[in-house]
Chains A and B, each alone.
Chain A
């Protein structure tokens, strides 16, 4: 198991008012993302628990692009990775933000 953590400045606060959302499943080739509204509006943190070691540079690039494209200010995302491919990771991170931005129903 490898644990990675990335903290970025985010340009904008993530929309919506939900405090927590979860998406995905922990399974081979997939991953689970827990997103919580815990941080100051200009901060974003992504914590990753992964079984596949040695992909640090890839994770770093995926997270940097994610923060730039989605501006997830105020969010802490915790990733439980089952050896997912980077494109799946990027998709799940985006889905997690969309989910927490939805209005409570």
Chain B
């Protein structure tokens, strides 16, 4: 007779096997490899919590120590492939298949293992997309997660970096999977409960904090004059005319420059209160001067940022915080916020082609996507109006009947025409396409599709792609802001002049900006130390950013 509760039966068996190594819910670190061999089965789907920032590093190390003869062919389903251990499990034959979102520091090794056949790639996802699949066809059998502390019942306090944990736990525990948490310590009373204990089966006291990567700290000292100019163009040419109040920023230096120009250049333009008031954004240190100057009303965050805890605690009117005072972040909710409730995404990329497709993949580095494609795409399910959204929709379709016309999210790519080592931002053919051919992928890994991009901003000017009426105009608008790259020098001068007359391309002088005024002295903070000063000493930068 068919059993309708086989998963619950299996769960009970696994729990019984695991409890042989547990005292209550607690497992000792030294017992972890044996414990993992007891609760994991070959070919399981495993989420080894690797988020954008926090990492279940102790559990990751233990998983590399299991016996591949017992545990093999695992299917890893996690958003971040960030630690060396995340790939060691593939090299050792413990895991075989991978579905993920982001692999910043391991991007080159992911590429090597893919080419070497050690990884069988499912797909590279956006965060929301992978989270969605956790509930449909990539539900984890085992989740190995990270939190700050636990009590004896397994209740978890995640601290400011909640990130992916609620999503991972929800999908795993309510589909009869096993949840194992690593915590720095087990305490009698938690500051707050982020994950209820009946969703957590085992807890490991790691006796050290989980690893966190400071991904969102940009040293103002490294911001160039060209980035200052590009930021001025964005503020005067986009933020002001569209009246962008709700937005998300990428993590590059160009957007850090915008954050640092709000209290100076933005103030001079009289924009305070009419732009940049509501954010889906990690706690960027570079936004401190704007917050302190009264620009920002509120910020919801995907995760936290190293060194920002005390500042956030002291600014609970701005950030989402728990009864304990610390930040409550949530990657899934913040991604949804960025997708549906923001009118603009602005971020950098590595390559843009002649139609405006963009990608951060190169043939030797498969960095994945993270959240940018969710932020940087038009939400087709959006139904609420807002001035910038309606304005962008009108520019794209001036003749459509207003009540039936969709608005458009502003999706802006910002960058200098040449990047590090004089590598051009604009290319005829994306490396992502070459990679797709080489690996026989059905889909090239594009960060943002051309039909979602509305504007491109470089030091040479702003191209408004909403106003382009055909493929040729689009190509020339892009060439027209591509500077001295091959793509830029290949422009049709006459057509670019016509596009400029129509306002499709706007140069600094068209906006009343003198490039010679683009000076670092415009930045509200010119060093990390300045940011500390702005925060009244509340921001505590990680040591690698301290040079005093």
* A positions within 8 Å CB-CB of B: 29, 52, 55, 57-58, 61-62, 83, 85-88, 91, 94-95, 98
Contact = CB atoms under 8 A, between A and B. Distances in A.
- Chain B contact-residue range equals 10 to 19
Contact of A88 (B224, B460, B489, B516): B224
5 contacts: A52-B422, A61-B489, A83-B421, A87-B417, A88-B225
B541 interface: no
A98 B516 contact: yes
B483 interface: yes
Contacts of B422: 52, 55, 83, 85-86
B518 interface: yes
* Most-contacted residue by chain A among B224, B421, B489 (CB, 10 A): B224
A87 B224 CA distance: 11
Contact of A85 (B418, B460, B515, B516): B418
Contact of B484 (A29, A52, A62, A94): A62
Contacts of A86: 417-418, 422, 483-484
Contacts of B518: 91
Contacts of A94: 515-516
Interface in B422-451: 422
Interface in B208-244: 224-226, 229
Contacts of B51: none
A62 B515 CA distance: 15
Nearest to B515: A91
A61 B225 contact: no
Nearest to B230: A87
A57 B489 contact: yes
Contacts of A29: 224
B459 interface: yes
B477 to A, nearest CB: 19
A82 to B, nearest CB: 12
Nearest to A85: B418
A101 B159 CA distance: 58
B35 to A, nearest CB: 50
Given A52-B422, A87-B226, A87-B418, 18 more contacts: A29-B224, A58-B484, A62-B484, A85-B422, A86-B417, A86-B484, A87-B416, A87-B417, A87-B483, A88-B224, A88-B225, A88-B226, A91-B225, A91-B229, A91-B515, A94-B515, A95-B516, A98-B516
B428 to A, nearest CB: 16
A52 B225 CA distance: 21
A98 B417 CA distance: 24
Contacts of B460: 87
Contacts of B229: 91
A86 B515 CA distance: 14
Nearest to B460: A87
Interface in B302-349: none
B230 to A, nearest CB: 9
Interface in B484-516: 484, 489, 515-516
B484 A61 contact: yes
Given A52-B422, A55-B422, A58-B484, A87 B459 contact: yes
A78 B483 CA distance: 23
Interface string B407-427: 000000000111001100000
Nearest to B459: A87
User: Which of B417, B421, B484, B489 is the most central at the interface, judged by chain A CB atoms within 10 Å of its CB?
Assistant: B484
A94 B509 CA distance: 14
Interface in B183-198: none
The 4 tightest CB contacts between A and B, nearest first, are A86-B484, A85-B418, A87-B459, A87-B226
Q: Give the interface centre of A52, A61, A85, A91 by most chain B CB atoms within 10 Å.
A: A85
Contacts of B226: 85, 87-88, 91
B424 to A, nearest CB: 10
Contacts of A83: 421-422
B253 to A, nearest CB: 12
A8 to B, nearest CB: 17
B483 to A, nearest CB: 6
A60 to B, nearest CB: 10
A84 B422 CA distance: 8
Given A94-B515, A94-B516, A85 B489 contact: no
A87 B229 CA distance: 11
